Structure 1
Amino acid sequence: MSITILGQWVLASGSKHRAKQLAAAGIQAALMPPHCDEALIAGEAPHARALRLAEAKAREVATRAGPGAIVIAGDQVAHAAGNILRKPASIASACDQLAAASGRWVSFESAVAIHINGQCQHALTLTRVKFRTLTATLIDRYVNAEMPLDAAGSFYSEAVGGWLVDRIESEDPSALIGLPMLALGRLLRDAGVDPIARLPD
């Protein structure tokens, strides 16, 4: 069943983090979690996976949001040493991921897609994160304090997890949170939509 949301922002996600990013930028979006198969495809590069899933989410939600909706979707893939770091889902997995990241660089491929008037466009931002050397005690304290179980890489850079990091390299610091906002802005403007022009008077 389609829900008509004429001219309304729709976030193809249930992520509170991405919703907060949009709200902070003046976009009050309706949340519509996508129904997409996110199974890994053998041999697929991390950046290709992020772009594929962001576009799939945008297209699927657009079929339910109805004509006129401005649908935004995102996907983030973390990887290190050829291994994809998925959302940990458990405390033990989160601790294992952070232990593996200790003292190393981890790459985060943050994709964003928009679906407007039947057209879908996407973009990607790469962020590299150098983690501090993390002791087991520090990792345990962090994971139990913040419970980053729905975060790729097992940490929230915008919160307490920022203390785990030595260095971040990116053209867009917002990308690490979940949505690369600079890339999103470019996509929207290219599609003829300026978020500032849509702010209430």
Structure 2
Amino acid sequence: MRKIVLASSSPYRQQILQQLSLPFIAVAPQFIEEIDPNVAPALLVRHLALGKAQSLAETYPDALIIGSDQVFVDQRKRPIGKAGNLQAAFHQLKQMVGRTHCFYTGLALLDSRSGIVQTDYATFSVSFRQLSDDQLFDYLQREKPFDCAGSFKIEGLGIALMEKMAGEDYNSLIGLPLIKLVSMLEIAGVNVLGN
């Protein structure tokens, strides 16, 4: 079987990929992410995912390299970044309560031997409940999601912020669209469910 490389240092993406029971290594990509708010989110995340995969192609010249990146956007399709601290995170969440926002998750699979590239993206929307300032501060102090886009971790206590969620692949919300990845791997000759 070809070597599979996940171009990510994210423990969340690594946990998701482990669901497929395929051997892989995770390597931090050598890629600087630049979020251009003037580029459509679907194009942006595909570009970022591909950049991550391509950044490892020379180091792994005979591998299938997976890149994935995510942008969280508000109702006007403006990117919502990582807050970095408590006050900024509170401000972010305060703007989001009672509204629906969307994650765009880009996916790229690069065959570094042949140069063949597959890219795609998935969307997942989240609708926030109406929450008080005290509830928001309680959440932020308990989970400290300051390094997450939108200032919440859906795989943790962040689920308590939600009224509803909708999308084709829950894994894309966390950072890696597995349903699309399985199809890409099969095109590249890796049958996840055996021969």
- TM-score where L is the length of structure 1: 0.88
44-53 or 142-151, which deviates more: 142-151
Alignment partner, residue 173 of structure 2: 176
Structure 2 unaligned runs (5+)? none
1:33 is aligned to 28
Task: Letter of the 1:75 partner, please give it.
Answer: D
Which whole-Å deviations, capped at 9, do the CAs of 1:45-104 have from their partners, x for residues lacking one? 11211111001111111222231x221111111001332111222222222211111010
The answer for the alignment partner of 1:20 in structure 2 is 15
Mark the CA change 1:143 to 1:25 in structure 2 (over 3 Å): closer, same or farther: farther
Partner of 2:191: 194
Rounded to whole Å, the distance in 2 between the matches of 1:27 and 1:153 is: 31
The equivalent residue for 1:107 is: 102
Quick one: which of 50, 62, 68 aligns to 1:74?
Answer: 68
In structure 1, the residue matched to 2:117 is 120
1-side partners of 2:26 and 2:51: how far apart?
16
Looking at structure 1, the residues matched to 157 and 22 of structure 2 have their Cα atoms a distance apart, in angstroms, of 25
Q: Distance in 2 between the 1:25 and 1:136 partners?
A: 40
Q: Following superposition, which runs of at least 4 residues in structure 1 exceed 3 angstroms of deviation?
A: none
2:87 maps to a residue whose letter is: A
Q: What secondary structure, in the 3-state scheme, does the structure 2 residue paired with 1:88 have? A: coil
* TM-score, normalised by the number of residues in structure 2: 0.91
- 1:95 corresponds to 2:101: no
- Matched residues in 2 for 1:26 and 1:144: separation? 35
Match of 2:59 in 1: 64
For residues 3 and 108 of structure 2, the distance between their equivalents in structure 1, rounded to whole angstroms, comes to 16
Q: Equivalent residue for 2:145? A: 148
Task: Supply the distance in 1 between the matched residues of 2:5 and 2:85 (Cα, whole angstroms).
Answer: 30
Secondary structure at the counterpart of residue 158 of structure 2: helix
Higher helix share: 1
Mapped partners of 2:93, 2:129: distance in 1: 10
